Amino acid sequence: MHKLVGCALLPHPPIMVPEVGKGELARIKATVAAAEKAAQTLKDANPQTVVLISPHGPVFEDAVSISIHPRLKGSLATFGAPDAVVAFETDGLLVRHILKKCERLGVNVVELTDDVAKMYRLSLQLDHGAVVPLYYLQKAGFKGQLVHLSMGMLPYEEMYTFGKAVQAAIGIVDKRVAVIASGDLSHRLTPDAPAGYSPHGAQFDQAVVEALQNMDVKALLNLDRGLIEEAGECGLRPIFFLMGVMGGLNMTADVLSYEGPFGVGYAVALFTPNESKGE
């Protein structure tokens, strides 16, 4: 059996964490309920390690990055909730295998050490793109290890290859692993949206949600580049990574929710392996 026990796409608005969102939580209750369900389903699959990719960590033009620190922590203090804290140990073994596989597949990776962080003036704290999904996972009772990845501004095909490298690394370590892609869809759904309004925002989101439900990476690759630009999204590269992680595996997709009441599209999707005799 493949060691991948489940995958999810989770959005990351800090407002979906009760300590930040408070009364506003009612406006995204479908997203909150779906995130709770996805987190509980992943936790129930008993992973020892969770691999998470965020679009809001240190983002390089020409490389993805991987956190090397033995302990990873983050909070939503900058959003007025210093008590919303997550902390996990890093799975150093899986990190090493991911680095090896990336080298073999030609994916450029920056290792986020103290020295690199100082050189680029980066924070080694977990970013909100990681903290929000991990908050739900921690709430569901997950106490295992973490591999924290940050996307790079690489071609979509290369983000998919990065996912394949992680899939290969998971196949080597003798551990049960779940993978989470953190990402929001269009930031331009309504006239009061944070990035302004575009009528193409909803069109983009519909196409992506459909591709997720069908696990159709070709449909994502065929998305019009102008449409993507207009949508103002942050989730497409993490989604390509996730598709790479699942590439060639027998998985079932379930889009649990989609809504965008604040002008940003939030999709929650869960992917579970189909056990077959041949595995």
- Residue 68: give its domain's CATH number: 3.40.830.10
Alpha carbons 134 and 4: distance in angstroms, whole number: 18
- In tens, the pLDDT along 197-207 reads 999 999 999 99
The pLDDT of residue 56 is 96
Q: Which two tokens stand for residue 58?
A: 């240190």
- How far apart CA 56 and CA 158 sit, in angstroms, is 18
H helices within the chain, ranges in order? 18-21, 29-44, 92-105, 114-120, 128-139, 156-172, 200-214, 217-221, 225-231, 236-246
Whether residue 278 is contained in a domain is answered as no
* Residue 197 lies inside a defined structural domain of this protein: yes
Q: Chain centroid to CA 270: how far? A: 12
Domain assignment present for 43: yes
Residue 42 in contact with residue 6, Cβ under 8 Å?
yes
* pLDDT, position 261: 94
Is the residue at 98 inside a domain?
A: yes
Residue 115: what residue type?
D
Mean pLDDT along residues 213-219: 97
Q: What's the average model confidence in pLDDT over 21-31?
A: 95
Q: Write out pLDDT tens, residues 12-23.
A: 999 999 999 999
Confidence at 62, pLDDT banded by 50, 70, 90: very high
Average pLDDT over residues 17-37: 96
Look at residue 60 and tell me if it is in a domain: yes
| pLDDT exceeds cutoff 50 at 1 | no
Helix, strand, or coil (residue 180): strand
Q: Does the pTM of the predicted model rise above 0.75?
A: yes
Q: How far apart are CA 150 and CA 125, in angstroms?
A: 12
Q: What is the tens place of the pLDDT at every residue in 168-203? A: 999 999 899 999 999 999 999 999 998 999 999 999
Note down the domain range covering 134.
Answer: 4-273
pLDDT tens digits for 262-278?
A: 999 999 999 999 975 44
Question: Would you state the pLDDT for residue 279?
Answer: 40
Confidence (pLDDT) at 174: 87
Query: Is residue 194 assigned to a domain?
Result: yes
Backbone φ, ψ for residue 181 (5° rounding): -100, 125
| Torsional class of 56: left (φ above 0), alpha (ψ -120 to 50), beta (otherwise) | alpha
The reply to whether 279 falls in a domain is no
Angle between helix 236-246 and 200-214 (nearest 10): 10
Give residue 278's pLDDT: 41
Q: Which residue has the higher pLDDT, 40 or 120?
A: 40
| 156 falls within a domain | yes
Tell me how many domains the chain contains. 1
Q: Residue 228 pLDDT > 70, yes or no? A: yes
Convert the pLDDT of each residue in 124-179 to its tens digit.
Answer: 899 999 999 999 999 999 999 999 999 999 999 999 999 999 999 999 998 999 99
